[in-house]
A and B are shown apart, each in its own frame.
Chain A
C-alpha cells in the first residue's frame, strides 16, 4: 500500500489521482475489448460468408478478364493502334490475332473470348470461331488473308470493339443492364424501344410491387384495425390466422395457390358450380401477372398486418370516442383522428412489403408465366441459362442499390432497433 494517498485537506494526492484515472481507463478499455471480442466471431463470419460474396458480385459486374486472358497477344498489340485513325491495324496486330486464334483453338478457350465479344457486337462469335478453324493453315502476311476469310476483319468497328474490351474493367454490363449500347464510335445511347428488355422489366417489377403493396394495405388495414380494437383474448386467437400463413413455407403457399387458381382448380370449380363462369370458359388466374399479384399479396399480407397492428395498438380508443362526442361523424372521426395516427404503421408496412416484393424470385417463377416475371427472374436466367454472369451481377447490383436505399428510408422511419416487427 502507498504510504500517503490523501492530502491534509481530504483531496487525493496528484499521483493518486493519476493512478486512479489510469486504472479506470484501463478497465474501460478492457471492457470495450471484451465486448468487441463477443461480437467479433459473428462479424468475421458474416464478412466471410455474406459480405465477400456480395463484394465478389460487385467486382464481377465490372470485371473484364476474358480478352486479356484468352487473346493476350492481340490485346497487347491492339493497344498500340489508334482507334480514331480510320486505318486498319497493321500486320503485327493481325499476326498476333492469328497466334491467339491458333492457341485459343488448341486450348478450347477461343469460345470464351468469342462469347464475351459477342455481347458487344453480334456476329463476333462466328467471326472468331470461324476464323480460328482456318487460322492454323495461314502463312504470313496474314492481313489480307484474314480479310479474305471474313470481310469483317476489314471493318474498323470490329477492331474498335476488340480494343475497347481489352481493358481489364468494363462498364458494358451496366450499359447493357440499362438497355443501352456503346456504338462503335464510343457513344453510349439507348437501344430502340422494341429491343429494350431490362428497363421494362425493372419498371414492371416496380409497378407490380406497388400494386401488391397497395393490395396488402387494402386488405391489411381493416384486419389490423379489428385486431387492435378487439379484446386481447379474441385478438390473440384471431392473430393465429395471421401468424400461421406467416410461419408456413413459401413453397407450400405457392403450391396451394396453384391448386386454388389453376383452370381445373378450386376457385374455378366453385365459380362454375355457381354458374358464374362457363365451364369452357374458365378464368385464367395463374401463370400470368394476376397469379403473381394474388399469390404475393397473400404471402406478404402478414408483413403489412404486423407493423400496422403494433402501431394501431398504441392509439387510445378514447380519441375516436372524443371526436364522436364532439359531433364528428364516424367517417370524419376516422379520417381526421385515427388515420393520421396510423400513418407510421402504414409507411413501415408499405416499405417493408415493397422491399420484400421487389426482390422476389420463387413465386413469380412458379406462378408468373410470361407476364408475371420480376427482375429477380432475369438475374436467375442470366446466372443459370444464358451464363452471362457479368450482366446478372450488374442487374443484381442495381437491384441491391434500390433495396438498400429503401431500407435506409425504412429504418429512418422506424429506428434501427425496431426491426423485429419484420418477423
Chain B
C-alpha cells in the first residue's frame, strides 16, 4: 500500500499519521514483554528501574534473581512438576486428538457436527467453570490433588487444539495417495506409517505445541485440583504475584518469554513447511 501519486497533502498527512498510530499500537503490544527483560536483571528487589540502571551502571545489574530461581527448591520443584504434567498431557492429547481427527475427516462418520462440538468444548467453556466442575467431580472420584488428576485435566484442555490442527491438515490431504500406495501393494498399516503419518506430522506437532503451551500456562484448573505436591510454575507465579512480589517472578517471566519465542519460531517453521509439502501434492 504505497502512497498513491495523486494523493493530496491531507491524504499524505493521514498516510504517515496512520503509520505512526499503528507503530504506537505495536509498541503497546510488545513493550510489556520487552520491559521485563532488563527489570529481571535489577540488583534491587523492586519492579522498577533504579537510577543506576538508567545510567547503565554495571553494578546496578545482576543475575541475582536468576540465581534465586535456580537455587530455590520450590521453583525447581514447580519446574519439575510442570515438565512432568506437560509432557504426559501433551503426549496423551497428541495420540487421542490425532486418532479422533483421522476419524473426523472421514466422510462416512455419522453425527460429525455433534462430535466436533463435543470435542472442542473444553476450549469454549470458560476455565473457571471447567475448574469448578473438575473440582467437584475429580474429588468425588478421588483423583484431585494427584498428578493423574492434573494430567487428565490438562489433556482434556489440550486435545481441542490437536483435533483442530490435524483436521485442518487432513482437509487438504490427497486421498489418491492412499489408493496409489494400496495399488502398489502396500498394506494399510504400511501406508499409514509411510504416507499418512509423514504428511500430517506437521499438524500433529503444531497441535501438540499448542497443547503443551496450554498445559505449561494453565493455572486456573491447577489451582483448583492440584495439591501442594503438584505445584506447577504458573501456580508458583500466581502465589508469588499475590503474596510477595519479588523480581524472581520477572526472571521466570523472562525465561518464559524466551520459551515462547522458541515455540513461535517452531510453529511458524512447521506451518510453512506443511504449506510447502502440500504445495507439491496436486489438488
Contacts and interface: CB of A to CB of B under 8 A. Distances in A.
Interface of A: 28, 31-32, 34-43, 45-47, 49-57, 60, 219, 222-223, 226, 229-230, 238, 240-245, 247-260, 262, 264-266, 269, 298, 301-302, 317, 321, 324, 330, 355, 358-362, 366, 376, 379-380, 383-384, 389, 392-393, 396, 399-400, 403-404, 407, 416-417, 419-420, 422-423
A416 B116 contact: yes
* Prevailing SS type, chain B contact patch: helix
Given A361-B220, A423-B161, A256 B33 contact: yes
A257 B115 CA distance: 40
B224 interface: yes
B102 interface: yes
A39 B26 CA distance: 42
Interface in B128-182: 128-130, 132-138, 140, 152-153, 155-156, 159, 161, 163-165, 167-168, 171
Contact of A46 (B1, B118, B128, B132): B118
B260 A266 contact: no
29 contacts: A42-B100, A42-B119, A42-B163, A43-B100, A45-B156, A46-B122, A50-B122, A53-B135, A53-B138, A219-B28, A222-B22, A226-B18, A240-B264, A244-B30, A247-B264, A247-B267, A248-B33, A252-B33, A254-B241, A262-B47, A269-B48, A301-B28, A360-B126, A361-B127, A361-B220, A384-B224, A403-B129, A419-B164, A423-B210
Given A42-B119, A244-B30, A248-B33, 18 more contacts: A35-B109, A45-B156, A46-B121, A53-B138, A244-B33, A247-B260, A247-B264, A249-B256, A255-B249, A257-B32, A259-B47, A266-B48, A321-B4, A359-B126, A361-B126, A361-B220, A404-B125, A420-B165
A259 B35 contact: yes
B133 A56 contact: yes
B59 interface: no
B126 A376 contact: yes
Contact of B257 (A252, A383, A393, A399): A252
Contacts of A321: 4
Interface string B232-250: 0010011001100100011
Contacts of B25: 219, 222-223
Given A244-B261, A259-B36, A416-B117, A249 B125 contact: no
Contact of A248 (B163, B168, B242, B257): B257
B37 to A, nearest CB: 10
Contact of B129 (A36, A57, A241, A259): A57
B163 to A, nearest CB: 7
B50 to A, nearest CB: 10
Nearest to A226: B22
A243 B264 contact: yes
B91 interface: no
A260 B48 CA distance: 8
> Which among A238, A301, A400, A404 has the greatest number of chain B C-beta atoms within 10 A?
A400
Contacts of B132: 57, 379, 383, 392-393, 396
Contacts of B29: 241-242, 245, 298, 301-302
A384 B225 CA distance: 11
> Which among A53, A247, A383, A396 has the greatest number of chain B C-beta atoms within 10 A?
A53
A422 B122 CA distance: 13
B208 interface: no
> Which among A245, A252, A262 has the greatest number of chain B C-beta atoms within 10 A?
A252
Contacts of B109: 32, 35-36, 39
A57 B253 contact: no
Contacts of A252: 33, 36, 237, 253, 256-257
A46 B33 contact: no
B263 A265 contact: no
Contacts of A34: 106
B106 A400 contact: no
Contacts, number: 265
Contacts of B220: 361-362
A403 B130 CA distance: 13
B260 A244 contact: yes
B227 interface: no
A266 to B, nearest CB: 6
Contacts of B76: none
